[in-house]
């Protein structure tokens, strides 16, 4: 049966072809520009039903070795570049959500690659042995692949665990007023209506105990900070990018930071959350601080160029995440997002929901 996948899934195969064709990967800056710094690739390991290693040799070939140590294939790096260029063009012009690429699948079979996405229990999409020219280290690292060729991917997915509860206070709302406000379709208009009747929102709790604990694991003030960010975003007319929201929260300084670098104080908190969510932390699983994608991020740009954010350059990874992500409002019907309700104690509450997506 022919392989079928979306642009993001085919982008993983494109990344494999392109990296093997170039034999190196360039570091990127916060705006995804390629830097002069690059990492030579010594080996790529892909594990499906069998494990295969892809190693460049001195004659600019890629030697494919199976799990028994036997040579499976030997193909020129130029061929990999040709195949990656052809695959890129097909991905770019594809009109359907899921599609087949027979020519690319044929080449995949010649190198022992039978699936679009290698099975993974963690956030790493590809495992690479790179040569860090500055440290002279050659570690095997797992990288998460993010592609701009398809739909914008999520960094932190919405779900019941990411619900954040706010107390609605200031004016006692009647059941009729609650129903009228809930009937407003627009989220921003609904929040504005709450304020228009003299109410305000105050962070009450993270509903899911595991996610609350994960946020506290990162920073004791993280739950309050994230709640403040969502509230600022809810007051804006459009879905706001992370950097702008943090700047607005910094101007309010809800945590009463008295140092000189107020923006840096809040910016650092957000970068901690983004990095941990990107490399290992999930809302519903207790977080132990250990990264799955311990190498960092590989990004496929819209033009097909590939840049790498190596975790050794932590500041670069953080800057990329900080400048290229945004809050997204979750499904109101699925997660009861943005609806007022009366608690057992008679007080009125509202749930906002945390979801973070990459910019397109």
Percent of the chain with pLDDT strictly greater than 90: 71
Mean pLDDT of 84-106: 96
pLDDT of residue 188: 87
In this structure, the chain runs to a length of 360
The reported pTM is 0.85
Query: 342: which strand partners?
Result: 348
pLDDT averaged over every residue in the chain = 91
In sequence order, the 6+-apart residues with CB closer than 8 A to the CB of 163 are 206, 207, 208, 335, 336, 337, 351, 352, 353
pLDDT of residue 121: 62
The dihedral through the CA atoms of 31, 33, 39, 41 has a sign that is positive
Range name among 142-146, 203-207, 240-244, 336-340 with the lowest pLDDT average: 336-340
Residue 313 — very low, low, confident or very high, per pLDDT cuts 50/70/90?
confident
Q: Is the pLDDT of residue 176 over 80?
A: yes
pLDDT tens-digit readout, 104-150: 999 999 999 989 986 666 678 899 998 877 778 888 888 989 999 98
For tokens 């519903």, name the residue: 284
Q: Is the pLDDT of residue 201 over 80?
A: yes
Give dist(CA 333, CA 82) in Å, integer. 47
pLDDT of residue 40: 92
Q: Is the pLDDT of residue 236 over 80?
A: no
Mean pLDDT of 161-190: 92
Q: Is the pLDDT of residue 334 over 80?
A: no
Between 118 and 94, name the one with better pLDDT: 94
pLDDT tens-digit readout, 254-293: 999 999 999 999 999 999 999 999 888 999 999 999 887 7
What is the phi-psi region of residue 326: left when phi exceeds 0, alpha when psi lies from -120 to 50, beta otherwise? beta
pLDDT of residue 350: 95
Return the domain boundaries, the chain.
7-151, 156-289+312-358
The dihedral through the CA atoms of 283, 284, 289, 290 has a sign that is negative
For tokens 């977080």, name the residue: 287
Q: Mark out the alpha helices in 219-313 (DSSP H runs).
A: 222-234, 242-252, 262-279
């Amino acid at each position: 049966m022919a392989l079928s996948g979306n642009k993001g899934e085919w982008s993983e195969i494109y990344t494999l072809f392109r990296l093997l064709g170039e034999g190196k990967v360039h570091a990127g800056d916060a705006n995804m520009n390629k830097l002069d710094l690059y990492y030579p690739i010594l080996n790529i390991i892909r594990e499906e039903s069998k494990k295969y290693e892809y190693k460049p040799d001195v004659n600019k070939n890629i030697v494919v070795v199976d799990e028994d140590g036997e040579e499976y294939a030997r193909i020129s790096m130029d061929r990999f570049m040709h195949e990656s260029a052809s695959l890129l063009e097909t991905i770019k012009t594809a009109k359907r959500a899921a599609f087949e690429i027979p020519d690319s699948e044929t080449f995949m079979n010649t190198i022992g690659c039978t699936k679009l996405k290698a099975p993974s229990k963690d956030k790493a999409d590809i495992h690479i042995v790179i040569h860090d020219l500055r440290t002279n280290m050659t570690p095997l690292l797992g990288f998460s692949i993010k592609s701009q060729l398809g739909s914008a991917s999520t960094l932190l997915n919405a779900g019941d665990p990411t619900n954040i509860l706010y107390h609605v206070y200031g004016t006692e709302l009647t059941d009729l007023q609650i129903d009228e406000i809930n009937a407003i379709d627009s989220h921003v208009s609904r929040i504005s209506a709450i304020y228009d009747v003299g109410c305000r929102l105050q962070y009450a709790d993270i509903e899911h105990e595991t996610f609350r604990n994960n946020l506290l694991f990162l920073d004791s003030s993280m739950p309050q900070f994230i709640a403040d960010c969502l509230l600022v975003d809810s007051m804006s007319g459009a879905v706001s990018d992370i950097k702008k929201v943090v700047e607005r929260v910094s101007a309010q300084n809800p945590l009463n930071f008295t140092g000189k670098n107020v923006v840096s104080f809040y910016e650092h908190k957000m970068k901690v959350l983004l990095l941990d969510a990107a490399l290992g932390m999930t809302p519903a699983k207790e977080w132990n601080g250990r990264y799955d994608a311990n190498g960092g991020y590989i990004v496929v740009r819209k033009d097909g160029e590939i840049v790498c954010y190596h975790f050794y350059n932590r500041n670069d990874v953080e800057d990329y995440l900080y400048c290229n992500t945004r809050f997204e409002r979750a499904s109101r019907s699925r997660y009861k997002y943005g609806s007022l309700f009366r608690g057992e104690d008679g007080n009125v509450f509202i749930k906002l929901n945390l979801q973070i997506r990459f910019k397109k």
